[in-house]
Amino acid sequence: MKIVLYGNPTLRVKSAEVDKVDDDLRKTLDEMVELMRSANGVGLAANQVDIPKRFFVLEVEGNVKKVVNPEIIESGEEMVEFEEGCLSIPGVYKKVTRPEKIKVKYLDENGEEKVEELTEMWSRAFQHELDHLDGILFTDRISVLNKRLVAKKLEILKKDYNIFLLYFLLQYYLQLCI
Ligand code: ZN
């Protein structure tokens, strides 16, 4: 399991619902928690590890949430601005405006339904990760000016991804030739 970077098409996919919370999923969630920690992240969505399914993990101040088939059922009116980054877009940090408070519904790792009100970092991270599951990146939500400022960095990341893909295909082709 590894984190896919900007340019990878899985990051733009609207991920599919999970039909069953089973041991395989629990194992994947555990692996994602480990990976998120080793990357010093507060959240990691399934499509960031190339699995186009609706689940993610969060960790705020040492507390972990494993979230399956999440939904936001209510959003507060108060909007707040906060600087975000993303493990799939290294080196880019920009302010994003989102509702401060949300009410959410999801299944936990035992398949039990949870309804919670989230604020501050939990709310922020939940919204960022849920966007991932819909193929939305935080850079889609930044101001026009900031979009212009990060355009070059994003272009370089995309180029890196294409070079990686080309290298991978070339290796595959050479293997076929041998
Ligand atoms: Zn992210």
Tens of pLDDT, residues 2-41: 999 999 999 999 999 999 999 999 999 999 999 999 999 9
Number of neighbours of residue 81 by Cβ within 10 angstroms: 10
| Active-site choice (61, 78, 129, 155) | 129
> Residue 175 phi/psi, 5° resolution?
-65, -40
Question: Are the C-beta atoms of residues 21 and 107 closer than 8 Å to each other?
Answer: yes
User: Distance, CA 42 to ligand 1 centroid (Å)?
Assistant: 9
Question: Are the C-beta atoms of residues 105 and 114 closer than 8 Å to each other?
Answer: yes
pTM of the shown model: 0.92
Beta partners for residue 2, in sequence order: none
Q: Where are the alpha helices (DSSP H) in 11-143?
A: 23-38, 120-133
User: Distance, CA 76 to ligand 1 centroid (Å)?
Assistant: 22
Query: Is 129 among the residues known to form the active site?
Result: yes
User: Distance, CA 128 to ligand 1 centroid (Å)?
Assistant: 6
User: Distance, CA 129 to ligand 1 centroid (Å)?
Assistant: 6
Query: What is the model's pLDDT at position 178?
Result: 64
User: Distance, CA 178 to ligand 1 centroid (Å)?
Assistant: 40
Task: Please list all protein residues whose beta carbon sits less than 5 angstroms from ligand 1, which is an ion.
Answer: 86
CA 8 to chain centre: 13
Query: What is the model's pLDDT at position 174?
Result: 80
pLDDT digits (tens, 9 = 90+) for 89-100: 999 999 999 999
Query: What is the model's pLDDT at position 167?
Result: 85
Query: What is the model's pLDDT at position 18?
Result: 98
Averaged in consecutive runs of 10 residues, what is the pLDDT profile of the chain (178 residues)? 95 97 98 96 97 98 97 97 96 96 98 98 98 97 92 90 85 77
User: Distance, CA 166 to ligand 1 centroid (Å)?
Assistant: 25
